[in-house]
Structure 1
């Protein structure tokens, strides 16, 4: 439990120092405070209860690390922009030595950003898309330029998937499953073209079936979401139509200074 409370202290301190209104760190701080209150109020001391508290605390810690890492990257990127502006100014003044120094600082920052960029992507691939590692290793040896371009594209895909994971874990799981088997099918197709092995053909067809079924499941999931949104819209419209007279009267009173009402 001591480790958990250290996490709590870190998050609460950070939230007080850095947070703005509606800041994600402030949201984490609120969650920690709620968790602490539940600990103080609870009489439970079971192993399951401790496990639940520990898991929630560790999840908060991971979220905080992600927020701080993104904030650090953003700060470095802002610094690069500022340095580039200074370079333009120094070039106008023909201060070559200062320009060289500023460009050197930019290179160091970009190297740090690229290192973090690759590290984060490798971790994501290892956890969710291990099949991709084989393709990247071969590509790095055979075509370094295409490898770097692929890394950039994968990083963008990873950020989209991570956002999806936060917003819709079920859809994230389906998207990762589809991506994994799409990659696997590409690998199997390459091997089958070379060998015409029937076992590989069977595996390839299985992977293609999984990709198809998973994409259908994703579309059904999206359709259900749209149906729910449409139903909510219908209900809102029905309420407005039903209360037309009241809404117009309230709007009239607001416009004439008799009351405050959100139209």
Structure 2
């Protein structure tokens, strides 16, 4: 569903909040680890994972240190000097998850400093009412996800090889029981970013180690019935969550309220932190 994209690979001049002009370095550029549009909403904390690519668009497998972010909207500073530490535990590429609360809809200008270079990007933020995507603070959708006993029209219920153990119960049953819940929407065999398989494996490790419960839900209902995956029918779960990308992890507490959402690129440390927010 989602493919990563570089924000810029050309030298350009930007203006910082003080009005001073600076020239960016073409040796590196930021790459979106999230959909560049129809993704972020105003008024709530949002998570924006960025990667760094070289001048030829090859993503760096490791980052030498933190990136420092400044974010502006219409020349007004929204985030200043936010240092974000790279994450990479259990995933093939390092990334930095910038989190902040956009105060209003608009196109935000981002400058990330890395190795002496200033790397520009833009973030589109829309009004919350225009997106169906489930947000932190929303009720976790009570979806009867496919299980080993009830496939519910999804074949196969798991494209991991071997099939993962997170299909024993449905998300709806976990929510009804008043238990903390977590659901990963991902299609390991058809993921366009090669991240779905690794994050599913990490989630399996985390819930086993912490004696927690989690659900894996596939993106497509009939991938084996089509020649091209773009022609496959979406399974009910991604539609219920308003997803247009994968993977995505939603975590909710005992009250059924979403306490964290991880999108597109995330590692073992972020999975562990998200699960901990749900309590026991």
Calculate the TM-score normalised by the size of structure 1. 0.20
Higher relative contact order (Cα pairs below 8 Å, separated by 6+ residues): 2
More strand by share: 2
**Structure ID, larger Rg:** 1
Calculate the TM-score normalised by the size of structure 2. 0.19
